[in-house]
Amino acid sequence: MISRGVSIGLALVVAAGSVRGDDQPAQAAKVVLTVDGEVNHPLKLTVADLAKMPRHTVKAKDHKGTEAEFTGVALHDILKEAGVTTGEGLRGQKLALYLVVEASDGYRAVFSLPEIDPAFNDRTALLVDLRDGKALASSEGPLRIVVPGEKRHARWVRQVVTLRVGKA
């Protein structure tokens, strides 16, 4: 189950991992993503949480034109887990909601909810953690946005730390 809010249990797991000098469980239990804003259930997700969610792999060309296989979780599935309305329910005032993807360097990019919703759109925007099966380099990871089919790479946000839902 994905932990909601701050978890004391999580802090204990991290502490136990570092005391043992055992980095593997500590890394898996580290919070890497915050989901907040106009959501019913704010989330603090660990690498292990993301690994348990439905995974997608897409082939796409990066900014340099190199084709790679990117694996991760659909933004839509993460927002659903946070209790954001999706699909048929996404109408009326809810169409004024938007997603801001925020990175550790302060870079931000906005997505409207319909453009990342499979009920509206076939392009599955992903929050990826693997490139050709390997963890992303720290210069772009641990988490990065991949938007298949997008002609420019400006919204392929590197080093994502927060997904924030706002209302226009």
Residues found near Mo ion in the complex (CB under 5 A): 154
Distance CA 36, CA 34 (A): 6
Residue type, 7: S
| Cβ nearer to ligand MTE, comparing 103 with 165 | 103
Q: How far is the CB of 61 from ligand MTE (least distance, A)?
A: 11
| Spatial CB neighbours of 86, under 8 Å, sequence gap ≥ 6 | 76, 79, 80, 113, 117, 119
Contact residues toward ligand MTE (CB under 6 A) are 62-64, 103, 105, 107, 140, 153-154, 156-159
Q: How far is the CB of 156 from Mo ion (least distance, A)?
A: 9
| Cβ nearer to ligand MTE, comparing 81 with 111 | 111
| Cβ nearer to Mo ion, comparing 96 with 154 | 154
Per the CB < 8 A criterion, the answer to whether 75 and 116 are in contact is yes
| Cβ nearer to ligand MTE, comparing 81 with 129 | 129
Distance CA 133, CA 70 (A): 8
Q: Which residues pair with residue 57 across a beta bridge?
A: 71
Q: How far is the CB of 92 from ligand MTE (least distance, A)?
A: 32
Q: How far is the CB of 51 from Mo ion (least distance, A)?
A: 30
Q: Helix, strand or coil for residue 146?
A: strand
The tokens for 76 are: 């839509």
Q: Which listed option, Mo ion, ligand MTE, none, makes contact with residue 70 (CB within 5 to 8 Å by class)? A: none
